[in-house]
Amino acid sequence: MIISMKMHATRQEIDEVRDQVAHFGYKVHSIEGEERVVIGVVGVGDVTACLESVESMPQVEKVVRISAPYKFVSKQFKPGRTRIRINGVEIGGDEFIVMAGPCSVESEKQIMEAAEGVAKAGAKMLRGGAFKPRTSPYDFQGMEEDGLKLLQKAKAATGLGIVTEVMSDRDVDLIAQYADVMQVGARNMQNFMLLKALGKCGKPVLLKRGLSGTIKELLMSAEYIVAHGNPNVILCERGIRTFETETRNTCDIAAIPALNELTHLPVMLDPSHATGKRSLVPAVSRAGVAIGADGIIVEVHPHPEKAISDGAQSLDLATFEKMMRELKPYIALWESSRKLDAVAATA
Ligand code: PEP
Ligand code: MN
């Protein structure tokens, strides 16, 4: 059950509601927005008595019963779309957002070339890992803080917001000083300590689906971040592990409309990790636009043959530019369908 307080309810009025909920023996998670406080109530058993009691309190605007195990992120809680403003761009809004850049930050020359190239081709944010989750302990682990500093330089040169991965709750404060979006990698989708820390980080989070994470588990992980205080979560389908070996992962394209039915959060597609092969990235990106993703996050490297990680799935700058040009008519259709959705929502 979710309780929306009236606008500008006082601290005392909020505390009265919390006390009333506690009286019925339920747990409270509250999100304090600038104008409105929203209180999530979680507990076992029938909440009817508690719901009726709270509903009659004058400072309460609305109480909604939510049957899904994820509450704040569910469509039942908020029927529309969540729009997240980051560094002058909006995710989940009227624009299809392309984030692009190398798998890893490798050098100043590499990241500056990548940033300038992707910005010129129309990307709205720069991706690049400074802390890298690698299958082998002997592989390059990332440039860490030096890499974050290079991302900051690339942002200063191009104006692009930065998306970069955080692997541990211990690194959240450091990375939040440089990142516009904190990326949670597939391998950390259920790192609950990290998710809880990101609830308090004050920056939007891009939460990638785990290699064997179900859609419901992905939503429960998003719920962790929101329940701990951060409503700005972007979900990302990046392929799941199946018996198929021709592609690096199996792109679960249907996850995108499925998520759009279940949650108000923005949903992006990563066609690079979903396929593992650069030749497949443009077609899968088109599929992402057509199926209604809010954007894509694509690996692009100025010299993919020299990339320290994920070269095989990285586009070079010319191919990225060509892909962006070829996506244009699809994006135009995407934009008209968003407009129709907006009209339908107000009808
Ligand atoms: C990445 O974005 O480079 C990455 C490691 O992705 P994933 O966590 O989806 O494997
Ligand atoms: Mn990668």
Instruction: Give tens-digit pLDDT for 151-196.
Output: 999 999 999 999 999 999 999 999 999 999 999 999 999 999 999 9
Task: Report which ligand 1 atom has the smallest distance to the Cα of 309.
Answer: 3
**pLDDT digits 0-9 by tens, 2-59:** 999 999 999 999 999 999 999 999 988 877 777 788 898 887 777 889 999 999 999 9
Q: Helices (DSSP H) in the chain: which residue ranges?
A: 11-23, 48-55, 108-121, 144-158, 172-176, 192-198, 215-227, 255-262, 271-275, 281-291, 317-346
How far is the centre of ligand 2, averaged over its atoms, from the C-alpha of 42 (Å)?
37
pLDDT value of residue 118? 98
Query: For the stretch 1-17, what's the b/e string if a residue is b when 16 or more beta carbons lie within 10 angstroms of its beta carbon?
Result: bbbbbbeebeeebbebb
Query: Looking at this protein, which amino acid is placed at residue 87?
Result: N
**For the chain, what is the radius of gyration of the CA atoms?**
21
> In angstroms, what is the span from residue 288 Cα to ligand 2's centroid?
18
Task: Give the pLDDT of residue 327.
Answer: 98
Question: Comparing 347 with 169, which gets the higher pLDDT?
Answer: 169
Q: What pLDDT is stored for residue 33 in this prediction?
A: 75
Pocket residues: Cβ below 6 A from ligand 1: 103, 129, 133, 185-187, 208, 238, 270, 273
Atom 10 of ligand 1: nearest residue by CA position: 186
What's the pLDDT score for residue 93?
96
CA–CA gap between residue 185 and residue 176 (Å, rounded): 16
Decide if pLDDT at 218 tops 90: yes
- Interval between CA 270 and ligand 2 midpoint (Å): 10
- What confidence score (pLDDT) does residue 31 get? 79
The predicted-structure confidence for 284-302, as pLDDT tens digits, reads as follows: 999 999 999 999 999 999 9
Q: Is the dihedral of CA 324, 328, 329, 330 positive or negative?
A: positive
271, 84 Cβ separation under 8 angstroms: no
What pLDDT band is residue 346 in, cutting at 50, 70 and 90?
Answer: confident
Q: What is the mean pLDDT of residues 77-104?
A: 96
pLDDT score of 190: 98
- Give the number of other CB atoms < 10 A from CB of residue 196: 16
Report the pLDDT value the prediction gives residue 78, as an integer from 0 to 100. 87
